[in-house]
Chain A
């Protein structure tokens, strides 16, 4: 087995083109568990540790057009950096619920996307924020919405020889919330999670649920229903009946299953509460 450690994206995608069977290693928090337990044996590894461009983040554009561009190897710990958390608060909240300090130091946003677990904690946030995945291969670059990139449980639209290089996330002008249910606060895989974003400038509400379907779930009808009933001008206290109804609508949009972590019935109940609570908290912060 070879372990390649290129220092430039171009060299990384050239290596993938030469040998598409290479396994891409970002943080390793998923990959190494499978390797340690003998469930997966890579024939060659492409480590992203030495590609500086993949570890950087920056802001492009201004005002309502501002985007944060996160290199694929941006760690959860970096997402908690106050400067970044101020721009993408729900992504920071989600990152804080991931694993432990050790895991947050190691795991990456690009790895969360590449693994595409239904329980991936950044995925509902990136979907609610209309994030875009940037991909590179030896034949060029392309991008697509996160909601199209994640196609199913641990399935993505990544083509052979293609590498996730970055995720581009719009900066919203309003409160955001991320909530997660698990058996404890640390080291827990989500039984259900929920990201909610209010954009006061655009009078836009987005809500995405995780771990209650094959991919992060949104319901644009439920979002529009709430947008039309919120008083964006005066922003009075949230009407409880509206919040309750919104929770029920989001729960109806979920497609949970029974598994070893929870039953579908529990998850449906959980996301009703999470969506209601996320809306209440975000609205109270406007």
Chain B
């Protein structure tokens, strides 16, 4: 465990942890063979098969691994997985369109949320790497603030980096969602 490159958690270690349970997207998952120091991000991606949260900086700088823990937007790379036992974890895979019920096709990802749809329509997706983190952060913002102003949007998304620098179209996508949700009121 020396050196400066982030470690991966693909193989069980000699010091692998005892199994524990995490509740992700409403479902209890048993985590086995995890290393005790694994971040929530590694466990989601490499143990639970949920690759939506992306692994990039591993220091909370880029927001690509944004998830909700007990409804709060966080970087999964900065959460110790085993310390999230008992929390409700929501990943991009668990976001559902408004009004969807558990068991709907929406839960399999076959139906997009309004934010996901707007990102496609506005051209907010280029390479796509930052997209899941942005989707989670945008849902979090618009669930808290119905009509955020331009500065409020920028401040709320300051922790999500788009390496294609496609911010203009991401902001345009948010405007679409705000407009559509406003009309549906």
Contact = CB atoms under 8 A, between A and B. Distances in A.
Interface in A1-57: 1, 3, 5, 25, 27-29, 31-33, 35-39, 41-42, 45, 47, 49-50
Interface string B1-31: 1111111000000010100000000000000
Interface string B106-139: 0000000000000000000000000000000100
B61 interface: yes
Contacts of A31: 80
B148 interface: no
A262 to B, nearest CB: 19
B36 A105 contact: no
B16 to A, nearest CB: 10
A180 B4 CA distance: 29
Contacts of B159: 99-103, 186-187
A191 B61 CA distance: 17
B63 A32 contact: no
A38 B78 contact: no
Contacts of A156: none
Contact of A102 (B17, B63, B85): B63
A3 B38 CA distance: 12
- B37, B79, B82: residue with the most chain A Cβ atoms closer than 10 Å: B37
Nearest to A46: B83
Interface string B56-91: 001111010010000011110111101101110000
Contacts of A186: 155, 158-159
Interface residues of A, number: 31
B164 interface: no
Contact of B37 (A1, A47, A101, A103): A1
Contact of A100 (B63, B85, B87): B63
Contacts, number: 107
A187 B158 contact: yes
A115 interface: no
Contact of B75 (A39, A47, A103): A103
A27 B1 CA distance: 22
Contacts of A64: none
B39 interface: yes
Contacts of B4: 37-39
B62 to A, nearest CB: 9
B127 to A, nearest CB: 21
Nearest to B77: A36
6 contacts: A3-B80, A35-B80, A37-B5, A38-B2, A100-B60, A102-B63
Top 4 A-B pairs, shortest CB-CB distance: A100-B159, A186-B158, A1-B36, A36-B58
Interface of A: 1, 3, 5, 25, 27-29, 31-33, 35-39, 41-42, 45, 47, 49-50, 99-103, 105-106, 185-187
Given A5-B86, A99-B159, 6 more contacts: A3-B80, A36-B6, A36-B59, A100-B158, A101-B137, A102-B74
